[in-house]
């Protein structure tokens, strides 16, 4: 499928790729007058339309604005208890999105993962190049987490995490330096520039502690907005996309 703004596409293919149904189902929708372009019933479902943002104001399905086009980047406030996967048992982050979006092609994927028990800022996209840019280990995009821990700190944790020498169990490469900011007797903020499996929980385990709650507050320069409730999501604007890369460490 062509990227938004770059070309034209057959209307039936565009709608099929956005998950509205098979080409056949879309044909039936058109014949039933459910698809309108510029206010007129779109009888010719094979016509080519420009794939750009303006199309969203021109095309309606059952009177509703067209879904976001390909090239979508969402921020989601991941609640505790949902899994970042397309096919595991239990509640999935994708269940928080409209049902139709499950049938989009290219599919919407999570940009990296948060554990089931971790809450906070999760990015979702159908843009493979964008996904790879954000998760690329070469970029070292900082991610800030709020950590609630169970035991009193010993006092040397910040130094150990910042040392660049902490080795996690079962690994053969030390962690990159991470920054620990102590917020209270039971809470700290930690900023990582890599994303190993269960990294924060394993780091605290390595210094004899236990994480009881974990929340991702920021990726790069993008903060989870206070008004985005757990389970809610919205599309990033162009400035927010840039802020992901222009990152305060
Ligand atoms: N570190 C963890 O331990 N879990 C997460 O979900 C993210 C970072």
Q: CA distances (Å), 183 to each of 112, 147, 149, 155, in order? A: 26, 9, 11, 13
CATH code at 39? 3.10.290.10
200 belongs to a structural domain: yes
229 belongs to a structural domain: yes
**Which segments in the chain show pLDDT lower than 50?**
1-5, 249
Does ligand 1 have an atom closer than 6 angstroms to the CB of 190? Answer: no
The closest residue, in CA terms, to atom 3 on ligand 1 is 198
125 belongs to a structural domain: yes
249 belongs to a structural domain: no
212 belongs to a structural domain: yes
Measured in Å, residue 195 CA sits from the centre of ligand 1 at: 8
First to last CA, the chain: 36
Domain boundary, last residue among 17, 46, 65: 65
CATH code at 150? 3.30.70.1560
Note if the bond before 108 is cis, omega within 30 degrees.
no
Backbone angles phi, psi at 235, to 5 degrees: -75, 145
- Both 237 and 212 in a single domain? no
- Both 173 and 127 in a single domain? no
- Both 211 and 147 in a single domain? yes
- Both 120 and 228 in a single domain? yes
Does ligand 1 have an atom closer than 6 angstroms to the CB of 178? Answer: no
- Both 96 and 193 in a single domain? no
Domain that holds residue 208: 143-219
Residue 152 in contact with residue 249, Cβ under 8 Å? no
Catalytic residues: 115
- Both 48 and 147 in a single domain? no
248 belongs to a structural domain: no
Note if the bond before 215 is cis, omega within 30 degrees.
no
What are the structure tokens assigned to 141, written together? 């995009």
Contact partners, residue 148, CB within 8 Å, separation at least 6: 186, 187, 211, 212, 213, 214
Percent of the chain with pLDDT over 90: 89
What confidence score (pLDDT) does residue 58 get? 94
- Both 130 and 167 in a single domain? no
- Both 232 and 130 in a single domain? yes
What confidence score (pLDDT) does residue 87 get? 85
pTM of the prediction? 0.92
- Both 209 and 227 in a single domain? no
CATH code at 226? 3.30.70.580
97 belongs to a structural domain: yes
What are the structure tokens assigned to 121, written together? 């800022």
Nearest to 158 by CA among 173, 131, 178: 178
What confidence score (pLDDT) does residue 137 get? 85
Of 117, 201, 202, the one to substitute when testing ligand 1's pocket (max ligand atoms within 8 A of C-beta) is 201
Counted domains in the chain: 3
195 belongs to a structural domain: yes
- For tokens 């994708």, the residue is 94
Of 80, 199, 209, the one to substitute when testing ligand 1's pocket (max ligand atoms within 8 A of C-beta) is 199
What confidence score (pLDDT) does residue 4 get? 45
pLDDT tens-digit profile of 1-21?
A: 444 445 999 999 999 999 999
222: which strand partners?
219
Measured in Å, residue 51 CA sits from the centre of ligand 1 at: 38
CA 148/CA 115 separation, integer angstroms: 15
- Both 92 and 151 in a single domain? no
Ligand 1 atom closest to the Cα of residue 211 is 3
Contact partners, residue 242, CB within 8 Å, separation at least 6: none
């Amino acid at each position: 499928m062509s990227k938004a703004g770059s070309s034209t596409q057959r209307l039936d293919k565009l709608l099929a790729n956005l998950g509205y149904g098979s080409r056949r189902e879309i044909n039936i929708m058109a014949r039933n007058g459910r698809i309108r372009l510029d206010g007129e019933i779109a009888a010719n479902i094979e016509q080519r339309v420009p794939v750009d943002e303006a199309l969203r104001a021109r095309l309606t399905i059952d009177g509703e604005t067209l879904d976001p086009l390909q090239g979508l980047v969402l921020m989601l406030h991941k609640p505790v208890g949902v899994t970042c996967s397309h096919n595991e048992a239990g509640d999935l982050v994708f269940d928080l999105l409209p049902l139709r979006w499950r049938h989009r092609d290219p599919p919407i994927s999570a940009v990296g993962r948060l554990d089931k028990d971790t809450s906070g800022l999760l990015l979702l996209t159908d843009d493979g190049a964008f996904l790879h840019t954000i998760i690329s280990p070469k970029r070292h995009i900082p991610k800030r987490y709020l950590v609630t821990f169970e035991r009193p700190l010993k006092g040397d944790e910040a130094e150990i995490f910042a040392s660049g020498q902490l080795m996690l169990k079962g690994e053969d490469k030390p962690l990159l330096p991470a920054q620990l900011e102590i917020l209270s007797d039971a809470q700290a903020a930690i900023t990582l520039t890599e994303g190993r499996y269960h990294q924060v929980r394993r780091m605290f385990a390595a210094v004899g502690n236990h994480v009881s709650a974990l929340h991702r507050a920021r990726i790069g320069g993008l903060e989870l907005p206070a008004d985005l409730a757990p389970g809610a999501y919205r599309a990033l604007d162009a400035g927010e996309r840039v802020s992901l890369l222009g990152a305060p460490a």
